[in-house]
């Protein structure tokens, strides 16, 4: 069925069957992927008065809601703002866990090497690199399960297993056991880094999704810097096992929040009876939903396993998606590589490095944390400004490509951050230059990543999990590769050559 009325029929008196049904409207955002009518005035022109009367708009009446919610309070799109923001907070806190857990091993690198009697390079290649690698693959497995049994039970069980293996990291008697525990932790704890795009799309209308993604993305971008900052003071005094103890406490709190306040956000909008299958909110029903009993019962009404397994393969070859995923892989990979090189040059003796103490290095790691916390506000308004301007220019129609203007703005900033940091390390400039280059690069990474997630999701709104999983996979593959050559290259030829080549 067409989603617009032909000009030749404007003066006719069509029957209601010629218009979109309520079911058609609920799926319009999927079928019109990449081009959404946002302005009610434009919707009236494209769809006609009869359809416009059925469309739900924002409270101020300025934007058409996509997806169109059901007339039922059980639809997550109709939840209160408080309940929606609680779910956003939970998935954001959860998204901090994966890179935080990997980062504990980076903060405790020297202590781990001394405890097990091996070199720091061996610990990095044997555990750290592969831990980053498995973060992406765990998310790919999770998206298949989330479509069948729901977002909440997969998030709960994955974080419960990750917590168990994280305890194993703290108690490991030898390097082999430690490596196994660390890799298993990474595989399971990576799930929140694909859950957020699902949850944001499930509970927020289109015009709010980018600003909510801004918050969720900040969680997993800022998380690698927490362990070197927060645990950099602890490890030299208490050892790496206590650092993992802090991680266990944090992961335990997140797991408790998921169990107590998490709600299932999955609702199949292609099923007119979807709301009728939402269980009552009794304590017993919430427990069944949390552990996956309800999801297993409803799985027969959802997408078959065969289709779910093929979706990532059907998407990954699309040129406009593959190119943006490769771009994100390099962008994030260089960012992770610079994070590793920062600690090298700050801690190494002169003339190679700055010869700073562990406490001083930990203090400097507050730079990206503070910078990203401030710049998240800038990113919020920048994304809204670009999209609002584009919608006005297109007479009330949103086109997904407008998101890419954010990348055009951010990329020169990213290049400048690489060059400034490389020059600072090479020529031993003031630490203020290091801080400046680091801060502006992380700002560029954040607004680039938000734009890329939003653009890809808008192009393929039916597949938010697959999009999130593939982007997360490319992002982690880029980060996984960097430790194998970044620090060696920097030692041999200096930071300016490394960062200069990456900037080019």
pLDDT single digits (tens) 377-427 = 777 788 888 888 999 999 899 999 999 999 998 899 999 988 998 888 888
For residue 441, name the pLDDT band (cuts at 50, 70, 90). confident
For residue 4, name the pLDDT band (cuts at 50, 70, 90). very low
Half-sphere exposure of 54 (CA within 13 A, CB side): 15
Contacts of 301 (CB under 8 A, 6+ apart): 268, 271, 277
User: Which H or E run includes 398?
Assistant: strand 397-399
Mutual angle of helices 431-459 and 464-481, in 10-degree steps? 150
371-409 burial: b if 16+ Cβ within 10 Å, else e: bbeebbeebbebbeebbeebbeebebbbebebbbbbbee
Tell me the whole-structure pTM to 2 decimals. 0.88
Closest by Cα among 90, 88, 281, 96 to 203:
88
Residue 185 reports pLDDT greater than 90: yes
Tell me what pLDDT residue 340 has. 67
Domains for the chain: give ranges and CATH numbers: 7-54 (no CATH), 76-503 (1.20.1250.20)
Which of the pair, 493 or 77, is modelled with greater confidence? 77
Give the residue-averaged pLDDT of 60-71. 88
Give the residue-averaged pLDDT of 194-199. 90
Token pair for residue 359?
């406490």
User: Of 21-25, 252-256, 431-435, where does mean pLDDT reach its minimum?
Assistant: 21-25
Give the residue-averaged pLDDT of 153-171. 95
Half-sphere exposure of 384 (CA within 13 A, CB side): 13
Cα-based angle 239, 244, 247 (whole degrees, multiple of 5): 140
Cα diameter, the chain: 84
At residue 32, φ and ψ (nearest 5 deg) are -105, 40
Tell me what pLDDT residue 106 has. 77
Distance CA 258, CA 313 (A): 31
Please check whether residue 402 is in contact with residue 390, taking contact to mean a CB–CB distance below 8 angstroms. yes
Give the residue-averaged pLDDT of 86-110. 89
How high is the mean pLDDT of the chain?
Answer: 85
Distance CA 259, CA 71 (A): 28
Evaluated on CA atoms 149, 153, 159, 165, the torsion sign reads negative
> What is the CA 265 to chain-centroid distance, rounded?
17
Please check whether residue 264 is in contact with residue 289, taking contact to mean a CB–CB distance below 8 angstroms. yes
Which of the pair, 495 or 266, is modelled with greater confidence? 266
Closest by Cα among 502, 372, 391 to 450:
372
Cα-based angle 349, 233, 105 (whole degrees, multiple of 5): 80
Distance CA 292, CA 298 (A): 10
At residue 430, φ and ψ (nearest 5 deg) are -55, 150
Please check whether residue 68 is in contact with residue 78, taking contact to mean a CB–CB distance below 8 angstroms. no
Tell me what pLDDT residue 17 has. 38
Which of the pair, 27 or 5, is modelled with greater confidence? 27
For residue 342, name the pLDDT band (cuts at 50, 70, 90). confident
Tell me what pLDDT residue 326 has. 92
Residue 9 reports pLDDT greater than 60: no
For residue 277, name the pLDDT band (cuts at 50, 70, 90). confident
Residue 292 reports pLDDT greater than 90: yes
At residue 112, φ and ψ (nearest 5 deg) are -65, -45
User: Of 12-21, 328-337, 404-413, 487-496, where does mean pLDDT reach its minimum?
Assistant: 12-21
Give the residue-averaged pLDDT of 35-53. 86
Cα-based angle 146, 148, 149 (whole degrees, multiple of 5): 70
């Amino acid at each position: 069925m067409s989603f617009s009325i032909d000009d030749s029929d404007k003066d006719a008196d069509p029957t209601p069957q010629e218009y979109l049904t309520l079911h058609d409207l609920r799926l319009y955002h999927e079928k019109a992927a990449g081009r959404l009518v946002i302005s009610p005035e434009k919707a009236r022109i494209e769809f006609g008065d009869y359809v416009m009367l059925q469309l739900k708009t924002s409270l101020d009446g300025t934007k058409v809601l996509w997806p169109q919610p059901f007339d039922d309070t059980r639809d997550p799109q109709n939840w209160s703002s408080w309940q929606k923001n609680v779910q956003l907070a939970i998935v954001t806190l959860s998204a901090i866990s994966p890179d935080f857990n990997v980062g504990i091993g980076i903060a405790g690198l020297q202590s781990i090497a001394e405890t097990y009697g091996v070199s720091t390079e061996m610990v990095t290649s044997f555990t750290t690199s592969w831990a980053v690698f498995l973060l992406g693959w765990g998310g790919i497995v999770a998206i298949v399960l989330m479509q069948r049994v729901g977002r909440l039970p997969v998030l709960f069980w994955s974080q419960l297993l990750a917590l168990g293996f994280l305890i194993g990291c703290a108690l490991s008697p030898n390097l082999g056991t430690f490596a196994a525990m660390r890799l298993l932790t990474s595989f399971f704890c990576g799930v929140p880094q694909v859950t957020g795009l699902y949850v944001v799309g499930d509970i927020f209308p289109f015009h709010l999704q980018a600003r909510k993604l801004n918050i969720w993305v900040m969680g997993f971008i800022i998380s690698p810097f927490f362990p070197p900052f927060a645990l950099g003071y602890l490890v030299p005094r208490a050892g790496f096992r206590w650092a993992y103890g802090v991680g266990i406490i944090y992961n335990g709190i997140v797991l408790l929040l998921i169990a107590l306040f998490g709600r299932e956000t999955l609702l199949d909008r292609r099923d007119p009876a979807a709301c009728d299958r939402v269980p009552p909110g009794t304590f017993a029903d919430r427990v069944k939903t949390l552990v996956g009993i309800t999801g297993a019962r409803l799985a027969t009404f959802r997408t078959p396993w065969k289709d779910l397994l093929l979706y990532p393969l059907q998407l990954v070859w699309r040129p406009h998606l593959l190119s943006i995923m490769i771009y994100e892989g390099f962008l994030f990979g260089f960012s992770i590589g610079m994070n590793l090189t920062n600690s090298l040059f700050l801690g190494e003796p002169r003339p190679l490095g700055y010869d700073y103490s562990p406490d001083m290095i930990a203090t400097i790691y507050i730079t990206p944390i503070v910078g990203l916390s401030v710049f998240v506000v800038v990113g919020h308004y920048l994304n809204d400004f670009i999209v609002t301007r584009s919608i006005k220019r297109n007479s009330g129609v949103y086109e997904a490509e407008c998101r890419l203007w954010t990348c055009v703005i951010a990329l020169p900033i990213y290049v400048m951050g690489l060059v400034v940091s490389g020059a600072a390390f090479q020529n031993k400039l003031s630490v203020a230059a290091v801080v400046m280059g680091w801060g502006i690069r992380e700002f560029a990474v954040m607004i680039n990543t938000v734009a890329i997630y939003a653009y890809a999701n808008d192009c393929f709104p039916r597949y938010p999990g697959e999009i999130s999983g593939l982007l997360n996979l490319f992002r982690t593959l880029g980060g996984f590769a960097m430790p194998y050559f970044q620090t060696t290259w920097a030692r041999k030829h200096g930071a300016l050559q490394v960062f200069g080549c990456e900037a080019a």
